[in-house]
Amino acid sequence: MLYLWLKALHIISMVCWFAGLFYLPRLFVYHAQSEDTVSKERFSLMERKLYRGIMGPAMIATLIFGIALIGLNPAIFSQGAWIHAKLTLVVILIGYHHMCGAQVKRFARGENTRSHVFYRWFNEVPVLILLAIVILVVVRPF
């Protein structure tokens, strides 16, 4: 029963993390398009609160619950290469998360040099990772 509770909490925290990973780059799009000081300050505040208040804790919770699941079922590593691929994507996602954090700081300092078009493409990265992770976990193709 503990395993199922941990799995539920892992999924819930992952959904919260991905919500932030989808929304923050969208804020970057609008922030990059903004021209007045009031809008730029408002976007910086929203970005900082989203990153620190929601995304960071959700990422940590996702990792804690995921590690706990592996701790309760270490045999999962012998069930196929899908888990290794999934964990590789999680590491890439953590890197993406930290890239978002670096962008939050650049915007706050007024040092953004990228266009809204860049952020529109940047916003698609977590979508592709989510698709791959869900397919790996559900289908277990290898």
Residues whose CB falls within 8 Å of the CB of residue 107, separated by 6 or more in sequence, listed in order: 28, 31, 40, 43, 44, 47
3-state helix, strand, coil in the chain (%, to 5): 85, 0, 15
Give me the residue label for tokens 């691929």.
85
Q: So what's the pLDDT on residue 91?
A: 98
Q: So what's the pLDDT on residue 45?
A: 98
Q: So what's the pLDDT on residue 78?
A: 94
Residues 76-114: tens digit of each pLDDT: 999 999 999 999 999 999 999 999 999 999 999 999 999
Q: So what's the pLDDT on residue 109?
A: 97
Q: So what's the pLDDT on residue 30?
A: 98
Give me the residue label for tokens 């998360």.
97
Annotated binding-site residues for heme read 10, 86
Three-state DSSP class for residue 123: coil
Distance CA 95, CA 97 (A): 5
Residues 17-50: tens digit of each pLDDT: 999 999 999 999 999 999 999 999 999 999 999 9
Q: So what's the pLDDT on residue 55?
A: 98
The mean per-residue pLDDT over the stretch 106-127 comes to 97
Q: So what's the pLDDT on residue 68?
A: 98
Annotated binding-site residues read 10, 86
* Continuous segment of H or E residues that includes residue 64: helix 56-72
Phi, then psi, of 134 in degrees rounded to 5: -65, -45
Instruction: Specify the pTM.
Output: 0.95
Alpha helices in the chain (DSSP H): 2-33, 37-50, 56-72, 82-109, 116-122, 125-139
Distance CA 75, CA 67 (A): 13
